[in-house]
Chain A
Amino acid sequence: MTATTLYDKLWNSHVVTSDADGTTVLYIDLHLIHEVTSPQAFEGLRAAGRKVHSPEKTVAVPDHNVPTTADRLLTIKDPEGRLQLEMLDSNCRDFGVPYIPMNDIRQGIVHIIGPELGLTQPGKTIVCGDSHTSTHGALGALAFGIGTSEVEHVLATQTLLTKKSKNMRVLVEGKLPAGVTAKDLVLAIIGKIGTSGGTGYVIEYVGEAFRDLSMEGRMTVCNMSIEGGARAGLIAPDDKTFEYLKGRSHAPKGAAWEQAVAYWRTLKSDEGAHFDKEVVLNAADLVPHVTWGTSPEDVLPISAKVPDPKSFADANKSKAAQRSIEYMGLTVGMPLEQIKVDKVFIGSCTNGRIEDMRAAAAVLKGRKVAKGVGVLIVPGSGQVKHQAEEEGLDAIFTAAGAEWREPGCSMCLGMNPDVLKPGERCASTSNRNFEGRQGVGGRTHLVSPAMAAAAAITGHLTDVRKI
């Protein structure tokens, strides 16, 4: 038998049929849907008189445009957003798709609730009309984002028509130093490979640094695979994965659990399996990272300075850096630690899990938010919110002067009421620092939850290790 990678195994076990040129009908075990990328897919089904092939393998939840204020259950002011939410509700009813409404404790960001409910399991193929579907790869599932035409395709056939990607391995051995988190690790990886370094690949993350991460940390890493251009990220499931899943509402039970775990243990790359590309980093060298520009690859250690566009060898990159620095309102040579922030956002599918809330609380405990800085802390799901409140984290946040909100995508993407004003600068635990991503003219610096909390206290980007 030829040695195969984890990705090869996941792919091979889901091939329904394949053409000579590699075009494959790939079976999909779990389809997650939300309000923004599904209405046109349901419209397509209706127009063609098609049904949903497997409603029981589909789960819908609203997240992208839900407001995060407590009054959201009374009314949603934005008529377009409200219409999308109503459409999701009625489409799910019409097509028999399980739906988690906004007032349900299980509601949250689709990539937070999948693992949380035990829907996400090793060995599954998982898709969603959202690029951060890569998150679910942290449990050893092959998970990737799709467009709306593909959402319609999966709804109609429970398969995708697609081609296999190449294999890439990111190896990070060693221990992450204190104060350096999963977010810093993935930002450093993106800094190294660039935002197109993973294009055409599925990345498997291997080595001690990933093994040592909590499941939440692994999800943060896999979540941002797409920022490195890879549609999917993978971490081989291990005892930590099984421990995380055991007892969750949709996880297998009883004898089926034992049978599933026995299978899940086979899900790893064989010794000597071929990877088309390999990247190696040393965990011990890593420090907290922060982005300075408008692409996730514009990332540097917090101790660095705003780079000189002239220092980029590639003319196109140099031009892009110039544009970024202008948009971000920065000065070449300015220490990153001197960059003042107006807002801090802690949340999103990248960093909206309980561990992220705890990391932020550890920094904010007994401290006050700097004058003039607005801090928004948004749990990724109703269950994260409940757990955080059980642990008293909400009291720490509000005592520090931060706002504690209802679950949703919030200020990650500028399509619900949580947006930056033009020119406002935000230390954000989200995943994209594109121009206007958090609101028209808004300026985003991507950081870890601990670094975001540190910026909240000092009012400027800060090395959390100094606090």
Chain B
Amino acid sequence: MEKFKVLKAVAAPLPLVNVDTDMIIPARFLKTIKRTGLGKSLFYAMRFDETGAEKPDFVLNKDAYRNSKILIAGDNFGCGSSREHAPWSLADFGIRCVIAPSFADIFYGNSFKNGILCITLPQAQVDMLSAKASTGNTAGGAFTVDLENGTITAPDGAVVTFSVDGTKRNNLLNGLDDIGITMQSADKIGAFEDKQRREQPWLYQSA
């Protein structure tokens, strides 16, 4: 997994509540056996019309935001399905950080496993950052997200602090693979199974 230390990039405001996983990537684009190449389907219904032409009003279609790597969204971002295609499509498009008042649980976990930092902030701070990303001379400017120090710096120098769960932060900073970490506990997993087999033998009956 790609490490995440400091990200300096344009932030796109997407001030909608309940942006669900079908909005992030409609189900018809899930028929793939790859993790890559999904960026073109990101926010498909919001980004493109029936003919496949870009909708000029959608934020990521505006010139100032085409290269955004940060999204500033509304409450309950990523609600709905467990499809990891949602963070895969964000990552493939280039989004490495999403800032919102809250995230759906499964999406949140999936994102970190794909090198995407989800930052939860109070609504007022999200609104403030969203306003800076969308209006005035800070619009389209570069925001700096520093995971090591837990800070977001707006283009005008305003700083907001954030915190992230220690394990998730560490894995992201170091680009660690969960499976490798868990496999270090192989003996403990074996011991758990031995104990479970004694106490709940029906779980080990062949059926």
Contact = CB atoms under 8 A, between A and B. Distances in A.
Interface in B165-207: 165-167, 178-179, 181-183, 185-186, 188-189, 192-193, 196, 200-203, 205-207
Interface string B110-147: 10011000000000000000000000000000000000
Contacts of A157: 179, 182-183, 186, 189
A331 interface: no
Interface residues of B, number: 59
Contacts of B202: 252, 256-257, 259-260
A196 B75 contact: yes
Contacts of A251: 207
Interface centre among A163, A195, A319 (most CB of B within 10 A): A195
B105 interface: yes
B201 A320 contact: no
A217 interface: no
B110 A414 contact: no
A195 B79 contact: yes
A252 B104 contact: no
A145 B32 CA distance: 20
B16 interface: yes
Nearest to A263: B200
B189 to A, nearest CB: 5
Contacts of B182: 25, 153, 156-157, 159, 161
Contacts of A163: 165
B205 A131 contact: no
Contacts, number: 193
Contact of A156 (B74, B110, B179, B185): B179
A435 B23 contact: yes
Interface centre among B34, B35, B179 (most CB of A within 10 A): B179
Nearest to B109: A147
B163 interface: no
A16 B34 contact: no
Nearest to A437: B22
A434 interface: yes
B153 interface: no
Interface stretch (A79-87, A354-362, A455-463): A79-87
B158 interface: no
B128 to A, nearest CB: 15
Contact of A131 (B32, B33, B106, B201): B106
A158 interface: yes
Given A25-B182, A130-B82, A157-B182, 11 more contacts: A27-B189, A27-B193, A56-B206, A156-B183, A159-B189, A199-B76, A256-B201, A295-B18, A316-B15, A414-B28, A435-B45
13 contacts: A25-B188, A40-B33, A123-B200, A129-B84, A133-B82, A150-B113, A157-B182, A200-B105, A253-B205, A256-B202, A316-B16, A415-B27, A435-B45
Interface of B: 15-18, 20, 22-23, 26-28, 30-35, 45, 50, 74-76, 79-84, 87, 102-106, 109-110, 113-114, 165-167, 178-179, 181-183, 185-186, 188-189, 192-193, 196, 200-203, 205-207
